[in-house]
Amino acid sequence: MSRGRTSTRIQYAIFPLLLVSASSGAQNASPSSSDHPQEIIIQLVEQIKQLQQQDHDLQERIKNLEARQPQTSPVTQADPASPSIPPQDAEQTAPPPAPPAAPHDWHAERGIQWRGFGELNYKVLNQRKPELGTYGFVPGSAGNFYTGDFGLFLTSRLTAKASVLSEIVFQEGDAQSYSLRLRRMLLKYDYSDHLKMSFGRYQTNIGYYNWAFRSAAWLQTTADRPLVMEYARNGGLLPTQAIGVSVTGAVPSGKLGLNYVAEYGSSDTIRPDINGDGGLNDYNNGNQVNVGFFLRPEAAHGLQIGASFYHDKISNFDKGPSIREGESIVNGYIVYTAHGIEFLNEGFLIRDAALDLRDDVFNTPAFYSQFSKQLGRMRPFLRYQYVNASPNNLIYDDVGLRQGPSFGARYDLNSYIAFTAQLDHTVRRGEPDLNGLQLQLAFTF
Amino acid sequence: MGVKSMLAGLLLGLALLSLAPPATAQAGDMAVVVSPANPATNISLGDLRKFFAGAKTSWPSGLPIKLITRAPGCMERLVLLKLLAMSEREYKQYWTAQVFRGDADAEPLTVPSVGMQKEALKVFPGAISLVNIADVKPGMKVIKVDGHLPGEPGYPVH
């Protein structure tokens, strides 16, 4: 195959040479010779013979070189950490001084595969009354730099169906201290497309965002997560992680593209108040169950519609250490991601009992909507988010009503580094509006 | 003088022909090829999209799917991106996310030539790839898409 192409390229190269030689021959021809076209033809035939001989010699040299060349890797494994190697012409390839390379092992997929995600942020707010500082942001400051999450993601295939996945995160805290978190640790067993099981610490599949972006800032369009999808440890409203078993798979449904998710595990969420009062909410969740489905209809490529229902029990320490109150979270979403468009729409209803002596039940609605469009390297975006928690709800009294738009743009410097600038305007009940600017450099490696 | 002009014209014509791009770069139907050991003979366009998006990981026969793609810039790659409605940048980001979610072990295997596609099909019984119809070689099994072979009216991959 490669010899055939080489031969073709040599033939292609001969024609311009013929043209040049013919034109130069014409220029050099003496007036007397131009009177004898037969001689010109004889000269050209001679030149063609010479070129054929040269071609033959070149073929021989290529054969000799190829015979000497050691067998090298025929295929490159796509590796996001290194750009694809373009094919090289045989004519451009220098004769290898090559040390003998080991033949490529097509099945070499064992071992641990690493990937990393990092970010550098700068945030400034127009209100200096401190709110919760997350990811290293110093609350109450006029503006400061912080590194957020630095994540190391590793996978290892054990057998054709079993693998291990782990996500280790170094998260910046107060005074540039770093805490180490095992955000995910899963033993995965994919029996088939209809049954994929994961055992260990997983991110709950409540909603789309948690599934799609996990914890990597580089994967997100915006500089931060919507508040409702923020990690509970950073003030988010949902139990985002659990230890247990998660099962997912495709349901035979033809062109409907129906998939299911079922999870059963233990959560123990501790959520800090986000209003900066330093309070901690210990949910002391029990075992949680989360079931959901999503559709990816073939007729509308890029469209995903899903819903989930989550339930667990939270301790009511005011009534007694053994008193448990129910918490349920209903989620629904419609998402479109194709043709450079990203249109995310998710709604939540969190229903829980007041954690005091009364028997009140509170519903906390929340949603976000995000639209972005890829324009070359740039992806401008607009997001609107809304959370409305009752001031009497002791779990979310620090949240209250928060709503407002965020807009900005992500610029991909290359396939591994992205810069995002984002402006936020947040309307808060009983508090002055909050305006913020976030600048983020996110990368993967 | 007349013979000189004729020869010059002939050589000029040949030289121009030699500058023309090789047939492999011409747009046309893109064949979906699998290993000859794969019993599949037909695939729906929806399934083809699911395969290359990593949403399906095994053939109906149970064979694990191995995606073989060409390097960025190739016609096969452009057709793949069109199939998935993604740009090259989005495609890379998509597969990074697939791996990070745990939905895939690794990005599809990228090969730089048709010969290596053929070799990959030999090694992986569950391999699937897109090849320009002009470049299909012995050892590549072309399967129908939505009941059509490349070149037939209604063939959807081009």
Three-state secondary structure of A282-345: ECCCCEEEEEEEEECCCCCCCEEEEEEEEEEEEECCCCCCCCEEEEEEEEEEEEEEECCEEEEE
On whether both A274 and A308 belong to a single domain, the answer is yes
In the prediction, which pLDDT does A12 show? 47
Q: Is A85 close to B1, i.e. CB distance below 8 A?
A: no
> Which residues does chain A have within 8 Å of residue B3's beta carbon, measured at their own beta carbons?
37, 40-41
Domain containing residue B92: 24-145
Higher pLDDT, B28 or A413: A413
Q: Is A86 close to B112, i.e. CB distance below 8 A?
A: yes
On whether both A70 and A126 belong to a single domain, the answer is no
Lowest mean pLDDT among A109-113, B102-106, B117-121: A109-113
On whether both A191 and A318 belong to a single domain, the answer is yes
- Here the contacts of A197-200 (C-beta below 8 Å, separation 24 or greater) are A197/A245, A197/A246, A197/A247, A198/A165, A198/A245, A198/A246, A198/A247, A198/B102, A199/A244, A199/A245, A200/A243
Query: B42 to chain A nearest CA, in Å?
Result: 16
> Which residues does chain B have within 8 Å of residue A22's beta carbon, measured at their own beta carbons?
7-8, 11
Q: What is the CATH number of the domain that holds B63?
A: 3.40.190.10
Query: B152 to chain A nearest CA, in Å?
Result: 23
On whether both A229 and A85 belong to a single domain, the answer is no
Phi, psi of A218 (to 5 degrees): -60, -30
> Which residues does chain B have within 8 Å of residue A74's beta carbon, measured at their own beta carbons?
111, 115-116, 119
Q: Is B49 close to A40, i.e. CB distance below 8 A?
A: no
> How many domains does the structure of chain B reveal?
1
Q: Is A18 close to B14, i.e. CB distance below 8 A?
A: yes
The β-bridge partners of A351 are A328, A363
Query: A5 to chain B nearest CA, in Å?
Result: 10
Phi, psi of A60 (to 5 degrees): -60, -45
User: Exposed, middle or buried: residue A120 (CB in 10 Å: 0-12, 13-18, 19+)?
Assistant: middle
Q: Is B121 helix (H, G, I), strand (E, B) or coil?
A: helix
On whether both A118 and A104 belong to a single domain, the answer is no
Q: Do the strands A270-272 and A280-282 form a parallel or antiparallel pair, or are they unpaired?
A: antiparallel
Residue B41 falls inside a structural domain: yes
Domain end position, chosen among A108, A124, A140:
A108
As a whole number of angstroms, the distance between CA A146 and CA A163 comes to 34
> Which residues does chain B have within 8 Å of residue A84's beta carbon, measured at their own beta carbons?
71-72, 110, 112
In the prediction, which pLDDT does A322 show? 76
In the prediction, which pLDDT does B9 show? 56
Give the residue from chain A lying closest to B46, CA to CA. Answer: A298
The tokens for B156 are 């959807």
**ipTM greater than 0.85:** no
Domain containing residue A52: 1-108
> Which residues does chain A have within 8 Å of residue B105's beta carbon, measured at their own beta carbons?
109, 113, 155, 157, 163
Q: Is B15 close to A79, i.e. CB distance below 8 A?
A: no
As a whole number of angstroms, the distance between CA B3 and CA A49 comes to 20
Q: Is A397 helix (H, G, I), strand (E, B) or coil?
A: coil
As a whole number of angstroms, the distance between CA B6 and CA A73 comes to 49
Q: Is B105 close to A153, i.e. CB distance below 8 A?
A: no
Whether the CB of B61 is below 8 Å from some CB of chain A: the reply is no
Give the residue from chain A lying closest to B93, CA to CA. Answer: A219
On whether both A397 and A413 belong to a single domain, the answer is yes
In the prediction, which pLDDT does A132 show? 66
On whether both A77 and A192 belong to a single domain, the answer is no
As a whole number of angstroms, the distance between CA B97 and CA B81 comes to 17
As a whole number of angstroms, the distance between CA A211 and CA A294 comes to 12
Letter for the amino acid at A375? L
Structural contact between residues A406 and A416, judged by C-beta atoms closer than 8 angstroms: no
On whether both A150 and A45 belong to a single domain, the answer is no
Q: Is B14 close to A8, i.e. CB distance below 8 A?
A: no
On whether both A117 and A102 belong to a single domain, the answer is no
Give the residue from chain A lying closest to B5, CA to CA. Answer: A26
Q: Is A212 close to B97, i.e. CB distance below 8 A?
A: yes
Mutate to test the interface with A, among B3, B5, B10, B11 (most CBs of A within 10 A): B11
On whether both A70 and A116 belong to a single domain, the answer is no
pLDDT tens string, chain A, 445 residues long: the values are: 344 444 444 444 444 444 444 444 434 433 344 446 677 777 777 777 777 776 766 766 666 665 555 443 334 343 333 333 333 333 333 334 433 334 455 555 568 889 999 999 999 888 766 676 666 677 666 788 999 899 999 999 899 899 999 999 998 887 888 999 999 999 999 999 999 999 999 999 999 998 898 888 899 999 999 999 998 888 888 988 899 999 999 999 988 999 999 999 998 788 888 877 777 878 777 899 999 999 999 999 999 999 999 999 888 777 776 778 888 999 999 999 999 999 999 999 999 876 666 777 899 999 999 999 999 999 999 999 999 998 888 788 888 899 999 999 999 999 899 999 999 999 998 888 889 999 999 999 9
As a whole number of angstroms, the distance between CA A248 and CA A241 comes to 16
> Which residues does chain A have within 8 Å of residue B22's beta carbon, measured at their own beta carbons?
8
**Chain B, window 119-148: residues with a beta carbon less than 8 angstroms from a chain A beta carbon:** 119-120, 123-124, 137
The tokens for B17 are 């022909």
Angle at A246 between CA A244 and CA A252, to 5 degrees: 160
Predicted TM-score (pTM) of this structure: 0.74
Whether the CB of B21 is below 8 Å from some CB of chain A: the reply is no
On whether both A390 and A241 belong to a single domain, the answer is yes
In the prediction, which pLDDT does A280 show? 82
Other Cβ atoms less than 10 A from the Cβ of A215: the count is 23
On whether both A342 and A228 belong to a single domain, the answer is yes
As a whole number of angstroms, the distance between CA A7 and CA B97 comes to 43
Residue B152 falls inside a structural domain: no
> Which residues does chain A have within 8 Å of residue B113's beta carbon, measured at their own beta carbons?
1-2, 87
> How many domains does the structure of chain A reveal?
2
